[in-house]
Amino acid sequence: MSRFDLTPPSPEQRAALEAGLSADERRVLLQHGTEAPFCGVFLDNKREGTYCCRLCGLPLFRSSAKFDSGTGWPSFFAPFDAAHIRLIRDTSHGMIRVEEVCARCGSHLGHVFPDGPSPSYERHCLNSVSLSFVDAGEPLPDPMQRGGAEAGSV
């Protein structure tokens, strides 16, 4: 069980969070779009820290699980906490894939594929615009002001 509050944002909180999104962030996070490969701000990020949901701030992936997949998108072999990711069968684009969304707010993150490195053999392939980044030792974002684990750092 996650130590983070996974309760979805209220309609008022969601409206406030969505108001701060750029057009590209809206297209990806809310309309399940994809950013172009090899252009995302986090593709070559080598800093130590935590990748969080751009909309609600939930921690999603640690930098220690990041690897260079050569696909053009930030890739990870394991989530911060499996409870923070919801998997959805995606049959768009004439293929069957597994979409990943934030378990708290439902924002589109990317897709997971069974071709990653050990130990999980998973490749969580994410859009940079779906993420925010918190350097190691810094406090995690708490845009919904829930306190608790959100108010700490990892």
The 10s digit of each residue's pLDDT in 38-86 is 999 999 999 999 999 999 999 999 999 999 999 999 999 999 999 999 9
The CATH number linked to 144 is 2.170.150.20
Please give the positions annotated as active site.
125
Decide if pLDDT at 93 tops 90. Answer: no
Q: Record the tokens describing residue 53, joined without a space.
A: 């949901």
The mean predicted confidence, pLDDT, of the chain is 92
Residue 16 in domain: no
CB contact set of 110 (below 8 Å; sequence gap of 6+)? 34, 73, 99, 100, 124, 125, 126, 127, 130
Look at residue 8 and tell me if it is in a domain: no
Who wins on pLDDT, 148 or 39? 39
Looking at residue 123, what is its pLDDT? 95
Query: Is 146 inside a domain boundary?
Result: yes
Q: In angstroms, what is the C-alpha Rg of the chain?
A: 15
% of the chain beyond a pLDDT of 90: 81
Is 126 inside any structural domain? Answer: yes
Whole-number pLDDT of residue 1: 65
pLDDT score of 147: 74
Contact 48/63 with Cβ under 8 angstroms? Answer: yes
Strand residue runs (E) in the chain: 49-53, 59-62, 66-67, 75-76, 85-90, 97-102, 108-113, 123-126, 131-135
Specify if 127 maps to a domain: yes
Residue 7 in any domain: the answer is no
Mean pLDDT calculated for residue range 5-27: 95
State how many domains the chain has: 1
Pairwise CA distance, residues 48 & 2, whole Å: 22
Domain extent at residue 39: 33-151
Residue 22 lies in a domain: no
pLDDT band at 94 (very low <50, low <70, confident <90, very high): confident
- How far, in Å, are 37, 40, 42, 136 from residue 59 at the CA level? 23, 19, 15, 12
Helix (H/G/I), strand (E/B), else coil: 27? helix
Q: Per the structure block, which two tokens stand in for 25?
A: 């962030």
Asked if residue 42 belongs to a domain, the reply is yes
pLDDT exceeds cutoff 80 at 91: no
pLDDT computed for residue 149 by the predictor: 64
For residue 56, how many other CB atoms are within 10 A of its CB? 25
Note the pLDDT tens digit of each residue in 110-132: 999 999 999 999 999 999 999 99
